[in-house]
Structure 1
């Protein structure tokens, strides 16, 4: 039971990190776009 939950967390973590990374990149691009304007 615990092992199954741990495996699920391991699957969730990378996707969560990827989401945070994509979000930060998106914010950075938006800021660069505003500065260029």
Structure 2
């Protein structure tokens, strides 16, 4: 989480500059979290 925060502050925006990028990233992150929680 700390690495994500540092990247958000110092890194380039990348795909987050477009609405499509934000939606795609959020869907991907949601899928990763669901997969991780299903293994617990």
TM-score of Structure 1 vs Structure 2, range by shorter chain: 0.5 to 0.7
TM-score (norm 1): 0.60
Listed as ranges, the gaps of 5+ residues in structure 2 are: 1-16
Higher relative contact order (CA 8 A, sep 6+): 2
Q: CA RMSD in A?
A: 1.4
Listed as ranges, the gaps of 5+ residues in structure 1 are: 1-11
Number of residues paired by the alignment?
A: 24
Structure showing the higher helix proportion among its residues: 1
The structure that has the greater radius of gyration is 1
- Once superposed, which parts of structure 1, at least 4 consecutive aligned residues long, lie more than 2 Å away? none
